[in-house]
Each structure stands twice: as structure tokens, then as C-alpha cells.
Amino acid sequence: MRLSMSGPVVHLDSLQRFRDMLPVADWHKIQEQLLSCFPSMPNIPDPHRLMDVLKIKMSWPSMDFLTSLSACLKDDVVNKLAPITVQAITRWPIFTFLGGAMFCLLASSTCHLLCCHSERLSYIMLRLDYAGIAALISTSFYPPIYYSFMCYPFLCNLYLGFITVLGIATIVISLLPVFEKPKFRSFRASLFFGMGISGVAPVLHKLILFRDKPEAVQTTGYEILMGLFYGFGALIYAMRVPERWKPGKFDIAGHSHQLFHVLVVAGAYTHYLDGLVYLRWRDLEGC
């Protein structure tokens, strides 16, 4: 059961634990609001005495009391109580993204470490590297899609299903031996770039649904920045910039593959910050 407030979604069992936070509350700031909520209370000047009264009420909370409390507290007080009274939403989408990012970076590190061992092991490691890139791109979609459309199950499942199928298809294609030939270098970059650009649809849909929410605009800014990092990295990788301009000058440091990895890490970190905004938004507002 939950009570609707102007901000967070507050659950009955959380409000029943409200009394647990009374000893640590800043009563000098919220006493006036609490007294205005319950005019039948005596005008008690001592905050600790008011705390004792509320403890008694919260030990056997009635629906009238909970409704009054949820209806009259202002947003600033609600925000102070949010860590205790708000039920956190599920975290699995952002954990999925973090898992995909760690798998990608681990696969890439392993590939660079072992691919010089032999031709056979190099082939295997490169397949693992491509699978890690596809996993990172696919799982990057999970937090924004889930938290944007968690109140619209059909849209949520549609977008998540599409990117999951696309990611699996990309991994399968990358396992083909012909995929490794140098002439397909641009095709490989284009395939991963296409996966990333497909995220434009859910982002635009989110802006349409939540155009009045500042969090929607803020997360979109992060997602545009993330897309620029990933896209620019793929472009550099495909064009072999800057070593194509001065062959031999960037063999040790500064070549396209190194720049590609730097941009991928920057994009993943940007997406992590994006996920934190989604979590704060949905923790406070639910659906």
C-alpha cells in the first residue's frame, strides 16, 4: 500500500518506521510544519516533547494520521525524510550496465595481453574483444530504457527486447571468420556504431513523455555526450587517425586504437553518471 505525495511515493511500512528517525531529525526546521499538519496538537515549544508525542502516534499509525502527514509536508521536508520514507526501486538495470562495462574492459585487456601469443589464440581473443564491445553497447541501453519506461511495461519490454536481440546478433556476426579480415574493418566499426545510434529512438520518446521533467533533459544531455564519445571513438578506429597521416610516428603511443579505448572509458563513465540521475529520479517519484 502506498500514499501519493507531491514528490516521492511513500509506502505505509516506510511511514511506520518514521518514528525510528525522530531522534535524529532537525526539529528546529520542521517543527513548525509538523504542528501545522496537526492543529489538534498542543503548541509544544520543546522539540523533544513534540518528538515524544509523535512517537506515540507513530507507534499505532492510523490512516487519518498517515494521510494527513503525507498531504501536508512540504517538499523540502519530504526530501529530508526521503532516505527513510522512500522505497528504493530495483537496481538490476544499472548493475547490468556495470557488468557489461567491466566485461568489455576485461575482455579488451585480455585480448591485448594474449593476442600476440599465437595466431589461434589471437583469433579467439579478438572474438572475445568484439563480444565485449557488443555487451557494453547493449547493456548501456538498460538503465535509460528501464527507468524511462518503467511505468509503461510494453514500451520497456519492446525497447529492451530490441537492443538485446541486436546485441546477440552482433556477437554472432562477430564470431564469423570473415569478419576479421582487414577489408571489413569499417564494417565492424559501422556495426557497433549502428547499435549505438539506435538509442536515438528511446531517447526522443523519453523526451516526448517527460518533456516537463528536468531529469529527462539532464539525462538526455548525458546520453548525447556518451554517444559523442562512443561515436567519435568508432570513427577514429575506422579511419585510423592519426597514424594514417604520419605512418610510424604513433606506433607506441597516440594511435587510433588507444584513442578509441580512452573514448570508450569516457563514454562508460558518462553513462554511469547518467544512471545515477535516473536512480535519484525514480527513487523519489516512482511511477
Binding residues for Zn(2+): 112, 257, 261
| Cα gap 199→201, rounded to integer Å | 5
Which has the closest alpha carbon to 164: 126, 138, 133? 138
| Cα gap 44→40, rounded to integer Å | 11
Which H, E and C letters describe 191-253, residue by residue? HHHHHHHCCHHHHHHHHHHCCCCHHHHHHHHHHHHHHHHHHHHHHHHHHCCCCCCCCCCCCCC
End-to-end Cα spacing for the chain: 14
Cell of 84: 527513510
4: left (phi over 0), alpha (psi -120 to 50) or beta: beta
Which has the closest alpha carbon to 280: 222, 230, 226, 224? 222
Binding residues: 112, 257, 261
